[in-house]
Homo-oligomer: A and B are copies of this chain.
Amino acid sequence: MTGTNRAIEIVPVIMSGGSGTRLWPLSTDVRPKQFHALASPRTMLQETALRLAGPAHAEDGAPSFLPPVIICNRSHERVIETQLAEVGVQPLAVVLEPFGRNTAAVAVTAARMVQTLKPGALVLLLPADHVIADPEAFHAAIARAAHTPDRIVTFGIAPTGPETGFGYIQRAEALADGVFGVARFAEKPRLEVARAYLAEGGYYWNGGIFLFAPEVMLAEMATHRPDIHASGLEAVDAAGRDGLFVRLDDGRFIAIPSESVDVAVMERTRLAAVAPCDIGWADVGSWSELWRLGGKDGDHNLIRGDAVALDTQGSLVWSDDGMEVGVVGLRDVVVVATPGAVIVLPRDRAQEVKTIVERLRARRC
């Protein structure tokens, strides 16, 4: 417990490195998911940044958010700058990775950046492409997590069903109000196992959101993966600074072993903690999930853009960038059209988008 007079300061470090194909053809390497307005009129990056502006919680002594640090691929320099400017967010820094190097490298980068730029502040490390429908509950969870700054706190998402697509965290003893030790991190389970977790209770989805003091993360990384710690610090300390932009050097960055922060640190450290929360979280990992989350019309259709659906029910019809889309007589399908590509498939087979992308890429080779 900190219990000081000085309010805790938190720097959100937004990981914008994803380039998933699960929402193809909207999400592409050039413009991945976080740069699209999927669940609201603002892009997911914009929503993530705005959600973490101002005080974290409306109580006395609640932590306050400093401007964010963004960690992204260097090809997205302009879109980051534009999208943050559109919503009036001025970041502390934008760290440009030459390529993706997994989240352990990101955790070291985040810790070192905040340690340097805002000594004494905590790091809230989180993905740019998640929906959090209840930001107040999220703020409250952050305020609780900030009570254990000697720990690396992961946010445990209250499960709404026996999902098999996420890792689970089992909580242990209480450490503070709403913060628990971690009994174990469990891999993505089979369905029966997931059901057993829910029946037993005390299990949460691992949403990949972390709160920690930079020194704690760096010390634990040094203990458990000294190679990542050393090469990560070297890459960050040698990076060129250009106004807001911090450019990581190719050669030094590739020297960092590629590992997830979960495997490198969380599954090994004795300082892991979990802050359970029920925040309307969703990772929007498929078109079917987007349909589930979104506002639907009387026919249970989610229609976006310049699209018309006749005698169609339970479907997502998504027109991007002025594409005219007409759908007749279909049930429970996903139709997504951009000026370069189209996908059509049953809603319950939305995960097969990846297969389609692979097949189309193979044709082009």
Contacts and interface: CB of A to CB of B under 8 A. Distances in A.
Interface of A: 25, 306, 308, 310, 322-330, 333, 335, 337, 339-346, 349, 352-353, 355-357, 359-360, 363
Contacts of A323: 340-342
9 contacts: A310-B356, A322-B340, A324-B341, A329-B346, A330-B333, A335-B344, A337-B337, A339-B339, A342-B342
User: 10 shortest A-B CB distances, which residue pairs?
Assistant: A326-B356, A328-B345, A324-B341, A337-B342, A308-B359, A326-B343, A325-B342, A329-B346, A327-B344, A328-B352
A90 to B, nearest CB: 37
A249 to B, nearest CB: 35
Given A308-B360, A342-B342, 5 more contacts: A25-B324, A308-B359, A323-B340, A324-B341, A335-B342
Contact of A340 (B328, B339, B349): B339
A25 B322 CA distance: 14
Given A329-B349, A352-B328, A306 B360 contact: yes
A325 B25 CA distance: 9
B25 A352 contact: no
Nearest to A337: B342
A298 to B, nearest CB: 17
Give the oligomeric copy count. Answer: 2
A339 B330 CA distance: 22
A360 B343 CA distance: 20
B327 A345 contact: yes
A344 B330 contact: yes
B330 A345 contact: yes
A319 to B, nearest CB: 8
A232 B66 CA distance: 79
Contacts of A342: 323-326, 335, 337, 342
Contacts of A324: 25, 340-342, 360
Contacts of A360: 306, 308, 324, 326
Contacts of A333: 330, 344
Residue from A335, A345, A353 whose CB has the most chain B CB atoms within 10 Å: A345
Contact of A345 (B329, B340, B345): B329
Residue from A25, A325, A327, A333 whose CB has the most chain B CB atoms within 10 Å: A325
Residue from A310, A326, A329, A341 whose CB has the most chain B CB atoms within 10 Å: A326
Contact of A328 (B308, B328, B344, B363): B344
A341 B325 contact: yes
A311 to B, nearest CB: 8
Contacts of A327: 343-345, 356
A152 B329 CA distance: 45
Contacts of A341: 323-326
